[in-house]
Structure 1
Amino acid sequence: MKVREFQTEDTPQLVHLMSQLGYPTSLEKLESRMANIHSQPGYHTLVAVLNNKVVGMAGLCHNLFYEYDSCYVRIVAFIVDIDHRRKGIGEKLIHEAEKWAIKLGATHIMLNSGNREERKAAHKFYLNMGYTNKSTGFSKSLEDKHSLKSTKRP
């Protein structure tokens, strides 16, 4: 198993992983999404490959702190194929993400993980990797606001 940078031809194999992560999508949508993501300089995607098959992915984003004079990396997407968990793949992906963060001079690396029952094993994994449960995240959809904006006239 090796971890390497994402390549465009990996996208079809990521469709299945995104579904396992809880975000089903089509190949066309994911191709567009990945093109948009990789047009941004602060984003970086790693994939874990075993026997020429993508079995894991870490989507990373480099940001600046408001509260400190340094930068951080956020793991914004992280998944290991359900058939390949508990084999060290996630650990290797995390270590490679941390190496990338250190290379950029980041002082912290962080992630959010949903509070759903199926995420409990992931939470235990993150704790075992040295991450701390430090905050509670909140989310609000703005999709309805976008549709209102497009129908209003100035």
Structure 2
Amino acid sequence: MGDAPTTATLRRARIGDAAELARLSAQLGYPQATDAFERRLRRLLISADHPVIVATDDDTMLLGFIAIEHRLMLETGDRVEIVGLVVDDAARRRGIGQQLVDAALDWARDIGVAEVIVRSNIARDESHPFYERAGFERIKTQHVYRRRVDR
């Protein structure tokens, strides 16, 4: 814990990371069973447009992860979106989140995409200054609607 910078090892997620990804996601308020994470991760691992990058210091326990995706938007063109970012509660404020964001920026650069966006829930007070320090600018506030599809 604490504020000492940590240089974590970053690597692409592997199927064996599913339990750790589920653990971290629960810290963010999205608890899911490990098998659900494993099923989703299997699909993401074969997609060139949906990398998941993890941070670790021992290659077993994860310190955090970032999930990103390459999107082609009809109205705005290509962009990369950070769709998930979490750093373990015990590893926060050590630079790991910034390392993960930098990895997303590097990936966007590597695939020739000039814009990275992230959406942050208004209730996540700590994330807003983090993203602003990381060079992101707030461009809009929006409502998100959901409708279930009858099966």
TM-score, structure 1 length as denominator? 0.87
Aligned to 2:145: 140
SS at structure 2 position matched to 1:134? coil
Alignment deviations for residues 80-109 of structure 1 (CA, whole Å, 9 cap, x no partner): 001100001011111111000000100100
Aligned to 2:31: 24
SS at structure 1 position matched to 2:98? helix
* Shift, 1:38, TM fit: 2.9
Q: Which has the larger radius of gyration?
A: 1
* Separation (CA, whole Å) in 2 of partners of 1:132 and 1:78: 17
In proportion to residue count, which structure has more helix?
1
Map of 1:73-112 to 2, 5 A cutoff? 73-112=80-119
Q: Does 1:37 align with 2:44?
A: yes
* Separation (CA, whole Å) in 2 of partners of 1:37 and 1:4: 15
Alignment deviations for residues 42-65 of structure 1 (CA, whole Å, 9 cap, x no partner): 111100012232111000000123
Unaligned runs of 5+ in 2: 1-7
Alignment deviations for residues 66-125 of structure 1 (CA, whole Å, 9 cap, x no partner): 334x52100000000011000010111111110000001001001101011xx1111110
- Counterpart contact for 1:59–1:78, Cα < 8 Å: yes
Aligned to 1:63: 71
Aligned to 2:127: 122
* Shift, 1:37, TM fit: 2.7
- Counterpart contact for 1:15–1:27, Cα < 8 Å: yes
- Counterpart contact for 1:62–1:73, Cα < 8 Å: yes
Unaligned runs of 5+ in 1: none
- After the TM superposition, which parts of structure 1 deviate over 4 Å for at least 4 consecutive aligned residues? none
Identical amino acids, percent of aligned pairs: 27
- Give the RMSD, CA atoms, in angstroms: 1.4
